[in-house]
Structure 1
């Protein structure tokens, strides 16, 4: 039997030096003494050369390990297909989400479990007084802006639309945690909705998690019934874990609709179960 001849090692081809993939910029910003947050910014295709001004999409839970890459990608895809306007995406990092994104301390059990909850007003102040002036002074903004977020960030967005609607132009809350504090925010909505919300559009999307869960959204949409410029999308085909990726393109289309309607063959529609 003949022995097999050993294979000669093949030379490894030399590759050019790898270059980094750059998807944005990150700015450290002090939230309070000793507490620094990252504000991450995605600039739309063509920003460097166009000289144009762009709308701004603020993203709550916008850290690099949170939802920044997902929503920046959805914005880029929507712009590429003409489904939504190209936008500057500004991701705002959160840390103690219950402290920063919830306005009430919660019911008795929630107060014991989450003693820091209930300081969303301070986070709104940070956005209003620090983040938005920074963006306006460093980037070419058109003056139009919107905010998006999911879960507790969605709750923050609904609360902000109710309590300080002038903070953003338009709002998108995906699967907002309106169940918090036994649905207190939905119960307060009829007293909070009025002339201040005029001109500030609201998109709310949620999965179906049963009658008790949906009762809070029934209260909210009932309070919205006399207001113009809102869309409520009930999506029983998804869950809390899958809804954000599924509906974010529609949310962006609602927030920043293109100047020309997309080609009907693409099927780009904002599906509202109820709207006005």
Structure 2
């Protein structure tokens, strides 16, 4: 036979459980989606391609305000989009760089889309599809930028950011089509590509937009390509070279230096940044 006290205890525990569940439901409302941006799918080089847009937090609250745009290469959801948007938002919180619209451009075959043809047989064998950077650049210029400028309140300032192969694309764009953007950031660019050919090409006349360059521990032809490029820049060219060869690895350069690159290209004029360690390090600079 079950003892009456045992029956009472079970009933009390059941009542307490029901009460706790009711309180828990009252204190735990239904979760809502957390939306940070939107995605537009376009056709690029014969395949679907996502362009991801993250707007500033105040975009909807200031209908008359216009914003700069940061175009982030390798900006897919499984690539650098969230890191890039997060670092840009962190910069904004501290006043390190201006708030901006982030446009993450997804890549599929990075060597195909971001690099020009190569005369290096070893590179061509390793990356047989490489070499369509000019077509990818034309797609950004003719399709992506006009779409962004038509749909969003942009202020005419546009920055192109890329790392590694995407950094090579940034430098190539700055050298061959400088008017596409108002600023460029090439973090650890793969300047070893095609026997360092990009660093050997004459730049021609005319002042180009500001260029942020950095070097990590890459060494070899990547380093010699960078040093040749720096030596070719005219004194009037505005640029910042952040030398991190003894501090950063190739794998850590993007998230280590993107805040600094944005500080250089989208400055706020804040006079307290150095106090908080947000130093713009330009071992070499011009302009």
TM-score normalized by structure 2?
A: 0.88
Deviation at 1:186, TM superposition (A): 1.1
Deviation at 1:208, TM superposition (A): 2.7
Map residues 189-204 of structure 1 onto 2, 5 A cutoff.
Answer: 191-195=202-206, 198-204=207-213
Structure 1 unaligned blocks of 5 or more: none
CA contact (8 A) 2:182 2:209 kept: yes
How many Å separate the matches in 1 of 2:123 and 2:72? 26
SS in structure 1 of the partner of residue 79 of structure 2: coil
Question: In the alignment, which of 95, 106, 109 is matched to residue 96 of structure 1?
Answer: 109
How many Å separate the matches in 2 of 1:22 and 1:194? 46
How many Å separate the matches in 1 of 2:103 and 2:194? 29
CA contact (8 A) 1:154 1:172 kept: yes
How many Å separate the matches in 2 of 1:116 and 1:146? 28
Match of 2:216 in 1: 207
Over the aligned positions, Cα root-mean-square deviation in angstroms equals 1.8
Q: Would the alpha carbon gap of residues 214 and 79 (structure 1) be closer, same or farther in structure 2, given more than 3 Å must change? A: same
CA contact (8 A) 1:105 1:115 kept: no
Cα deviation, 1:39-80, whole Å, max 9, x if unaligned, reads 100101211011210001101111111111111111111111
Question: In the alignment, which of 226, 232, 242 is matched to residue 235 of structure 2?
Answer: 226
Deviation at 1:259, TM superposition (A): 4.4
Match of 1:150 in 2: 163
Match of 1:238 in 2: 248
Tell me, yes or no, if structure 1 residue 87 matches structure 2 residue 96. Answer: no
CA contact (8 A) 1:106 1:118 kept: no
Tell me, yes or no, if structure 1 residue 44 matches structure 2 residue 32. Answer: no
Map residues 132-171 of structure 1 onto 2, 5 A cutoff.
Answer: 132-171=145-184
How many Å separate the matches in 2 of 1:170 and 1:233? 16
Match of 2:278 in 1: 268
Deviation at 1:215, TM superposition (A): 1.3
Q: Would the alpha carbon gap of residues 106 and 64 (structure 1) be closer, same or farther in structure 2, given more than 3 Å must change? A: farther
CA contact (8 A) 2:174 2:208 kept: no
CA contact (8 A) 2:96 2:273 kept: no
How many Å separate the matches in 2 of 1:262 and 1:137? 36
Cα deviation, 1:203-244, whole Å, max 9, x if unaligned, reads 011103335442111101000143421011110201001111
How many Å separate the matches in 2 of 1:106 and 1:37? 28
Match of 2:225 in 1: 216
Of stretches 240-249 and 202-211 in structure 1, the one that deviates more from structure 2 is 202-211
**How many residues get paired?**
267
SS in structure 1 of the partner of residue 173 of structure 2: helix
CA contact (8 A) 2:199 2:229 kept: yes
Tell me, yes or no, if structure 1 residue 75 matches structure 2 residue 88. Answer: yes
Deviation at 1:121, TM superposition (A): 0.5
How many Å separate the matches in 2 of 1:47 and 1:84? 16
How many Å separate the matches in 1 of 2:79 and 2:43? 19
Deviation at 1:263, TM superposition (A): 4.5
SS in structure 2 of the partner of residue 215 of structure 1: helix
Q: Would the alpha carbon gap of residues 211 and 124 (structure 1) be closer, same or farther in structure 2, given more than 3 Å must change? A: closer
